[in-house]
Chains A and B, each alone.
Chain A
Amino acid sequence: MSALKSANQIKAKFGDLVAEPTEFRGEITLKIADAEKIFDVCAFAKSIGFDYLVDITSIDNYGSDPRWTVAYHLRAIGNGIEIRLKTNVSEEKSELPSVLPVWRTANWHEREIYDMMGIRFSGHPDLRRILMWEGYPYFPLRKDFPLAGKPSDLPGVAFTQISPMEGGPFVTVAGGNDSIAREPRVRIPETDSVEFNARIEARADNKEARGRAFGPGPIEKK
């Protein structure tokens, strides 16, 4: 597979910085250990043919450290190979270098990630909010921000209020072990993921946790 060949090329160049390529559903993913080096890896990737940046995504791993994961989806237009680079950023730092000099399309992607998640990109010429308005105080896509929103007021610019959720949203929390754990229930964003992740660890009080009428059940370790 050519994608695997390119992935191995990147691994060969950067050594320990890049983990072994993993495959899922035909897609190759490379994990980059240090977020600061992402610019160098991307520049190298462009030089070996990945001239098209499809997407940059930010993921909130609320409850586990490092909190942010940023995924870059690259494509080589000439032969159609696609590859994914993933890197983790801790919450205290919340910053990584911008890849704008490599692909100009990263401009708006990074602005959107800053707007929605609050991850800053150093070296970005114009890092301001793009979907929400300047001066909006929150980062909406974070897991501890409720779907209904929080009230805010910027006189002359915009205001926000809480949407009527009637106690909801009532939705399953993914990954629970038994169906009682997976039943749709009220999601409490702040404690949702923390409890979820806490149960992954092998803890003595896990036995009490199983079967309780709230929160997801423990997950079997692979």
Chain B
Amino acid sequence: MQTQTEIGYNSKIEGDVVLTTVDAALAWFRKNSVWPMPMGLACCAIELMAVGASRFDISRFGSEVMRFSPRQADCMIVAGTVTYKSAGFLKRIYDQMPEPKWVIAMGACASTGGMYRSYAVLQGVDKIVPVDVYIGGCPPRPEAVLDALMKIQEKIGKQPILRGTVAAKLLHLEEK
């Protein structure tokens, strides 16, 4: 069962009162404050920095806090070529991120190894971490990165949050 994403709000009738489900509200808070962990490895990192700069402003999505510490981040953006030497620490950093976490594979190199079919390049970061959104391009335009962020936001909006938590069990929110 998918949670409602609609937040019923009509100011003329309800005034300042919003009626919605807890899940929808939590999802709305979450998706408008996705804190990325920029795993900026190569050229895509430069376009990622351009997304964070003033022209393409990732701040309007609430994501300008590029947290380099995995413990404080939601979404890991793998930007650049992942080599076999880098694979170890990348997986370790992904493991250190707390749930819920998402991964964006930015660019051709992160998605599939790109044009580097050689002995040293991991052919796609999805071989070691589960990826939610792939962005094509070499490097992808900053607008494409923002589009991927919007897709992540859509995904977060549909994610059931309360189900399976301790609070849900206590309040008997699950159907028997």
Chain A residues within CB distance 8 Å of chain B: 131-133, 138, 140, 145-150, 156-161, 163-165
Contacts and interface: CB of A to CB of B under 8 A. Distances in A.
Contacts of B88: 156-158
Contacts of A147: 117-119
B119 A160 contact: yes
Nearest to A165: B117
A132 B86 CA distance: 11
**For chain B, which range describes its interface: under 10, 10 to 19, 20 to 34, or 35 or more residues?**
10 to 19
B85 interface: yes
Contacts of B119: 138, 140, 145-150, 160, 163
A150 B118 CA distance: 10
Nearest to A147: B118
Contacts, number: 40
A158 B117 contact: no
Contacts of B123: 161, 163-164
B121 interface: yes
Contacts of B113: 163
B84 interface: yes
Interface in B87-130: 87-88, 113, 117-121, 123
A164 B117 contact: yes
A213 to B, nearest CB: 26
Contact of A148 (B84, B87, B118): B118
A131 to B, nearest CB: 8
B111 to A, nearest CB: 14
B145 to A, nearest CB: 26
B102 to A, nearest CB: 25
* 9 closest residue pairs by CB, A with B: A149-B119, A163-B117, A160-B84, A158-B84, A140-B119, A133-B85, A158-B85, A163-B123, A147-B118
A149 B121 CA distance: 9
Nearest to A149: B119
Contacts of B85: 132-133, 158
Contacts of A148: 117-119
A148 B121 CA distance: 9
A159 B119 CA distance: 11
Given A148-B118, A159-B87, A160-B120, 16 more contacts: A131-B120, A138-B119, A140-B120, A145-B119, A146-B119, A147-B119, A148-B119, A149-B118, A149-B120, A150-B119, A158-B88, A160-B84, A160-B119, A161-B123, A163-B119, A164-B117
Among B87, B113, B120, the one with the most A-chain Cβ atoms within 10 Å of its Cβ is: B120
